[in-house]
Copies of this chain bind each other. A is one copy, B any other.
Amino acid sequence: MNSSKTPSSSPEASSPESSENGVEGGRRRATINDIARLAGVSKKTVSRVINQSPFVRDETRERIEAVIAEWGYAPDPQARGLAFRRSFLIGMIYDNPNPQYVVNMQLGLLDGMRGSGFELVVHPCNRASPTFLQDVRSFVERQKLFGVVLPPSVSEDERVAKLLNEIGCSYIRIASVELDKPEHMIVGHDRMGAAAAAQHIVGLGHKRIAFISGPESFRSSHERRGGFEDGLAESGLKLTENDIVQGAYTFESGVACGDVLLARTPRPTAIFCGNDEMAAGVLQSARKAGLSVPQDVSVVGFDDFQIAQAVWPPLTTVHTPTREIGKMAAEKLIGVERREPRDMTKTEPSLVVRESSGPVPV
């Protein structure tokens, strides 16, 4: 059994390399003791400077900071974490299947953590696993995580939030609705984006409009549908039961739903899809049916991931600022004070008009 729960390369077991590791290029890294000695103070005072304590005379602080800078000293996060009983690691726990989303979210979190000394540990998971909660718990507890960021759909799992509260781990939930206290939330405002899509479609003169929804289990499915209906309502339009088809946020489900909708008589002249993947699927379906987009039918997506520009015609879609949202989440988690007030418009979705939408056919 090599599935032991501890790293297996131990010193006593067998480590051929360990002997040569002592002889590294360059001199030993400075420690807090070195800095204290060099600055002629106790290590506690150096510690105060590191931790930005106000109880240090300016003169002393400057002297210490000079020594720190001269030696390029950086405190050991491991030792600091051991004493703090809390590491300087941020966990991202997620099950979102879209690579573009995942990568943009990671980049955003890293943006928000830059220069802070924190590092990002990634932790994909499976919410359906019987050991899911136990996995999350042991991940958080073993690493003594400073905090975790939860994108959808993990963010929508109340069991996870409850667990995190119980074990006293800071967390930020990213979701399309306010699911928790404000200090734990970054909200995406999917409704606004979907409403903008509705207005765009209505503005083009469409009346026979269909909606392909994401899966029931995602809050964003409901928000995007709700926002779309809000937008239509402004022009006095509304979706009937029949106008809504249930997809699964996948390309294949988009093809299937497209097949259903495009076979109808009368055919819808515009289809709003819960995400780009499904919109790309509808494009595929239209091609099979010999229909032109947007001449015969307009198609609008949501997310503005790369696929939106790679398909033909390029998709009109709702851009979501995933990376910016990630940045905000990280900043909130680690408690960064911002110079400028937050510009809320930067995290709002916005409509991007491309070539997959056009006037209603005559």
Q: Which residues of B contact A121 (CB under 8 A)?
A: 89, 119-121
CB atoms of A124 and B110 under 8 A apart: yes
Q: Which of chain B's residues have a CB closer than 8 A to the CB of A8? A: 52, 116, 334-336
Complex copy number for this chain: 2
In the complex, which of the residues B3, B48, B87, B310 contacts A115, with contact meaning CB atoms closer than 8 Å? B3
Closest approach, in angstroms, between the C-beta of A148 and any C-beta of chain B? 13
Confirm or deny: A228 has a beta carbon within 8 angstroms of a beta carbon on chain B: no
Instruction: Determine which of B23, B141, B307 lies in contact with A310 in the assembled complex, contact meaning CB atoms within 8 Å.
Output: B307
Q: Is the CB of B107 within 8 A of A103?
A: no
Q: A7 and B141 in contact (CB under 8 A), knowing A55-B12, A122-B122? A: no
The answer to whether B77 and A337 touch across the interface, beta carbons within 8 angstroms, is no
CA distance A141 to B78 in the complex (A): 12
Whether B103 contacts A6 by the Cβ 8 Å rule is no
The residue on B at minimum CB distance from A79 is B82
> Contact mask A96-139 → B, CB, 8 Å, 1/0?
00011011101100100001111111111000000000000010
Please measure, in the bound complex, the distance between the C-alpha atom of A25 and the C-alpha atom of B321, giving whole angstroms.
36
Please tell me the number of chain A residues within 8 Å of chain B, measured between CB atoms.
82
Please indicate which of the listed interface residues A17, A100, A310, A335 has the most CB atoms of chain B within 10 Å of its own CB: A310
Chain B proximity of A46: nearest CB distance (Å): 12
**Which residues of chain B have C-beta atoms less than 8 A from A119's C-beta?**
89, 121, 123, 143
| Interface contact A166-B337, CB-CB below 8 Å | no
CA distance A25 to B81 in the complex (A): 21
- Is there a chain B Cβ closer than 8 Å to A344's Cβ? no
Residues of B contacting A20 with CB < 8 Å? 168
Q: A6-B50, A107-B124, A110-B124 are in contact. List 10 more A-B contacts (CB 8 A).
A: A5-B74, A9-B335, A10-B51, A17-B170, A23-B168, A24-B167, A25-B168, A74-B142, A77-B143, A306-B307
Ranked nearest first, the 4 interchain pairs of A and B with the lowest CB-CB distance are: A10-B51, A12-B53, A25-B166, A99-B103
What residues make up the interface of A, taking CB atoms closer than 8 Å to B? 2-13, 17, 20-21, 23-26, 29, 48, 50-55, 74-79, 81-82, 84, 87-89, 99-100, 102-104, 106-107, 110, 115-124, 138, 141-144, 146, 166-168, 170, 251, 280, 283-284, 287, 306-307, 309-312, 334-337
